[in-house]
Amino acid sequence: MTEARAQAAIAAGVAPTGPTAGVAGNPLFEYLCRMGDDRLVLGHRLSEWAGHAPILEEDIALSNFALDFVGQAAALLKLAGEVEGKGRDEDALAYHRDENEFRNVLLVELPRGDFAFTMVRQYLFDAFDVLALERLVKSRHEVLAGIAAKALKEAKYHARHSGEWVVRLGDGTEESHRRTQAALDALWSYPSEFFVADGVDAAMVEQGIGLDLPSLKAPWEITVRETLTRATLTVPNDPRIVRGGRLGRHSEHLGHMLAQMQILPRSHPGAQW
Amino acid sequence: MTVAAAEDPVKLSEFEARLERGETIEPKDWMPEKYRKQLIRMMSQHAHSEVVGMLPEGNWITRAPSLRRKMVLLAKVQDEGGHGLYIYCGTETLGVGREELIEQLLAGKAKYSSIFNYPTLTWADIGVIGWLVDGAAIVNQTMLAKTSYGPYARAMIRICKEENFHKRQGYEICSVMAKGTPAQRAMVQDAVNRWWWPSLMMFGPSDGTSPNSAELMRWRVKRETNDALRQRFVNLTIPQAQAIGLTVPDPDLRYNAETENWEFGAIDWSEFQAVIAGNGPCNRERLAARRKAHDEGAWVRAAAEAHADKQAARNSEHAA
């Protein structure tokens, strides 16, 4: 597929190839998978810290955040399965989709890195999450609005926690500053993918269900830059094009993560756990 | 606390009289130095066990077979961290800080429950740990909820509630697997076979050979003996195993209708001693993992401290 055709496919909200072709007929399903997958994958990455964090309080906090995100993912994917109407529940969607059927942004699937990398990534996501959920609580879709309302409380707490860590690490020691700046340099281009709207998003805005993603970019930048300034960090100029996750084109990392996450249900078809 | 004070016979007899009346000892009360030491030893072992115990279960969070199981396991591991934190705070009331205790753990000087030196090889291990290991812990901790030291007793009441939830979810995992496919049934039976004897060892050595039991009983830190608790655990657990069609790997197991006890075979204490001495299957891995987390987190802790200092300096500048 050429880049031009891919762009056209993005604009039309059509997944270009693969087993999810045809979701254009059901943008809400696609939309819910995007939200659910972001949270499932990020929750998984956070859960990798359990027992290995720098302080016991963070073992607890990161497990708790992982739990929040997996919980949100379960609710969203359950709803996605109902909307799809093909008998797939949240576990079928989490454990029996292939890598190219996942719809998360690339930011969340990157390996967890060091604590600075995890916290910067988390803050970049959390700052977006709060803004997005504040709008989604007004969604015309009542179940989605309900999920968003519950998630918003959690997201505000996450953003405060990760934001404070970004400041603490950026404005801490020379080493912590260096590590945090390196994390920011590596990650800065990834959030651009949050704000790319395609046909799916357009349909959701039109139906009063979803939100206008590009309109979140400016408020997100204001919030994030304010925190980064407090953290004494320099905002990088990174012109990389980072996108593809929403269409199932991922980094090299997601496949490894899913291989681990999905191994049991895939090895024992039909078994209940 | 000076040694002279600890040996003060008047204070000691007052202290023992209080215990006799069933009173609890609070942080500001006088206590014999040996009592304080025994409590610090027990509580730090307990806290370390919670923290090290995050590792074998953490090993399966990323591979939990359903979202619900993943959430329950995350919540459980989070609880364990919380218990660790809570009990470390309890030891602070006895004058020992968390940092000092963690250093003892990482240096290999402090003990933690020998059970966590066994590997979690399949998903069934997560069920069996909840059912047997947390089940054994509850039997022990229910007794400790009545221990003579107030802060520890109160911590135990709260911890027991959560452990009960852990045990129930573990048993439920086992029960679902025992009703599952032949591969699942084999998996859960294999896990029971591997964890059964180490679970019985969790209560510690036999009464006759336990170095600390007598003193702990006299001061009502412990209210029951290791062997009595172990018997209670076996009596509770065997019917649970039978209910879901699992067996325990003990050819000598039999029910004694007269005593109403499930009598079990001889425990291999040489294995217990080897694990306690640091030579269990995973001792080195567990400590290495905790050391790695601690070492790799050093810059984070330093950063938090440096930032707090900077903030304090800025605030005092504002105030000035």
> Distance from CA of residue A163 to its chain's centroid?
17
The pLDDT value given to residue A24: 53
Q: Could you tell me if A184 and A120 are in contact, meaning their C-beta atoms sit under 8 angstroms apart?
A: yes
A140 touches chain B (CB under 8 A): no
Inter-chain touch A175–B67, beta carbons under 8 Å: no
Q: How far is CA B184 from the centre of its chain?
A: 28
> In angstroms, what separates the C-alpha of B43 from chain A's closest C-alpha?
17
Instruction: Give CA–CA dist A97/A139, Å, rounded.
Output: 27
- pLDDT of B195 reads 98
Cross-chain residue pair B310–A171, CB shorter than 8 Å: yes
Q: Report the chain B residue with the minimal C-alpha distance to residue A265.
A: B65
The reply to whether residue A47 touches residue B310, judged by beta carbons under 8 angstroms, is no
- The answer to whether A56 contacts B81, with C-beta atoms less than 8 Å apart, is yes
Question: Pick from B307, B314, B197, B12: which is nearest to A165 by CA?
Answer: B307
Q: Give the pLDDT confidence score for residue A23 in this predicted structure.
A: 43
What ipTM is given for this predicted complex? 0.92
Closest CA to A15 of A103, A96, A97, A118: A103
Give pLDDT < 70 ranges for chain A. 1-24
In this prediction, residues B27-46 reach a mean pLDDT of 94
Backbone angles phi, psi at B268, to 5 degrees: -80, 90
Give pLDDT tens digits for B112-145: 999 999 999 999 999 999 999 999 999 999 999 9
DSSP code string of B258-280: TTTEEE-----HHHHHHIIIIIS
Q: In this predicted model, what pLDDT tens digit does every residue of B185-231 receive, in sequence order? A: 999 999 999 999 999 999 999 887 777 778 888 899 999 999 999 99
Of B62, B88, B173, the CB nearest to A47: B62
Cα separation, B206 vs B210, whole angstroms: 6
